[in-house]
Chains A and B, each alone.
Chain A
Amino acid sequence: MYRGREGMLSWMLHRVTGVGVLLFLLMHIVDTFLVGFGPEVYNTVLAIYKTPFMRVMEVFLVAAVLYHALNGLRVILVDFWSAGTRYQQQMFWAEMVLFVVLFIPAAYFMLKPLFG
């Protein structure tokens, strides 16, 4: 059983989060490059990241990175650990628990300034 189950879902999420993080990275390299143009240019560009909308997007970015990192570890375990394939489903649910445990506090601290 692969289709529609944990294996396929985790694989699809890995791709979607990977592409999402890469798109952010492309933008982020360009904005960092602009630091070479001095404080006026850089601070003006960086103001975009400080808007409430972008703050929420940054929380999504953290979610995507965290999922991609944890699922990547699971993929490595499936590949290199002899019992990896046998436990891939259990590892997926362990990964989900770890994701929630790490993501909730991160999201809390990132969104806190929005509520004063």
Chain B
Amino acid sequence: MNGVQGQARTRGNFELITWFFMRISGVLLLFLVLGHLTIMHIVNDIQEIDYAFVVGRWISPFWRIYDMLLLWLALIHGANGLRVIVDDYARHRGWRVFWKAVLYTITAVLLFMGTEVILTFRSVG
């Protein structure tokens, strides 16, 4: 896992920046994700989670910010992890470009969808 440092010399600062990002976002996600799972699956039961639950939760800007941080950090952390895996296993340059294009497109679309719903959600009825 230290191997990426070697690549940093040839790929400019990008690998170094992502290497740092993985560690910083990882520590933040440790608290955010374990907190999220504890609230959703242990403090509350999955059985209790429904539309009304989300309405009650997103009344507070705190939980909207929490969920926004969770969305951006987790998705970018995951997408970058998968990017490294593509570099490891897709030996042919053409396939690497192809898989990264797929990965970045899906990531961008999901970031947009998630951000949109957290920002604009209003309860109906």
Contact = CB atoms under 8 A, between A and B. Distances in A.
On whether the two chains bind one another, the answer is yes
Interface residues of B, number: 38
A92 interface: no
Nearest to A42: B51
Contacts of B9: none
Interface in B13-55: 23, 26-27, 29-30, 33-34, 37, 41-42, 45-47, 49-52, 54
Main secondary structure, interface of A, reads helix
A36 B50 contact: no
A22 B117 contact: no
Contacts of A79: 1-2, 23
B45 A113 contact: yes
Given A18-B78, A113-B47, A73 B42 contact: no
B54 A38 contact: no
A49 B70 CA distance: 20
B79 to A, nearest CB: 8
Interface of B: 1-2, 23, 26-27, 29-30, 33-34, 37, 41-42, 45-47, 49-52, 54, 71, 74-75, 78-79, 81-82, 85, 106, 110, 113-114, 116-117, 120-121, 124-125
24 contacts: A15-B81, A19-B85, A21-B78, A22-B78, A25-B74, A32-B117, A33-B117, A35-B121, A36-B117, A38-B51, A38-B124, A38-B125, A39-B51, A39-B52, A39-B124, A46-B51, A49-B49, A58-B41, A73-B26, A73-B27, A79-B23, A106-B41, A109-B42, A110-B41
